[in-house]
Amino acid sequence: MIPLLRSPETLSAFGESASDGVDTAMELLAHRHRRSVLQYLEDGDGSATLTELAVEIAAREAATDPNAISDHGDVSARDRRSARISLHHTHIPKLAAADVIDYESETETVTLAERGRTLLERDDAIRGLGNVE
């Protein structure tokens, strides 16, 4: 049976070898939620809670902005919960396994690591190639 998803443990920290590094970087950048997490951390102070990231992801998916009355804008609790589950079970473990973020499970705090900044530079380079979103 062919596995549908690669487990985070199969991801190498990019930079170990040229081909492994490129493959890992491309896989990490392949999903918009992982790109959004990294960009949110970079644009902020480099650290955020899982809840803050879930709100940001859900807001981006709904194409809404948080407003002054509510930090959640028009994003439903269901959408925030869905984003949080996806981050917790899939995206945060993949990013942490590749050493691009640090995740503190007790406080549910995600911090951008130096490798994450390097990965964002690669993302910028890819976007510079043309009409890539």
* pLDDT tens-digit map of 2-18: 333 444 444 445 555 55
pLDDT class of 110 with cuts at 50, 70, 90? very high
Indicate the pTM of the whole model: 0.75
How many residues in total does the chain contain? 133
Report the C-alpha gap between 93 and 15 in whole angstroms: 18
Task: Name the one residue in this structure whose structure tokens are 């596995």.
Answer: 3
Query: pLDDT tens-digit profile of 27-56?
Result: 998 999 999 999 999 999 999 999 999 999
Q: Is 93 helix (H, G, I), strand (E, B) or coil?
A: helix
Q: At what angle do helices 114-127 and 18-29 cross, to 10 degrees?
A: 80
Q: Kindly tell me if the per-residue pLDDT of 132 is higher than 70.
A: no
Bridge partners, residue 104, by sequence: 109
Place of tokens 């380079």: 125
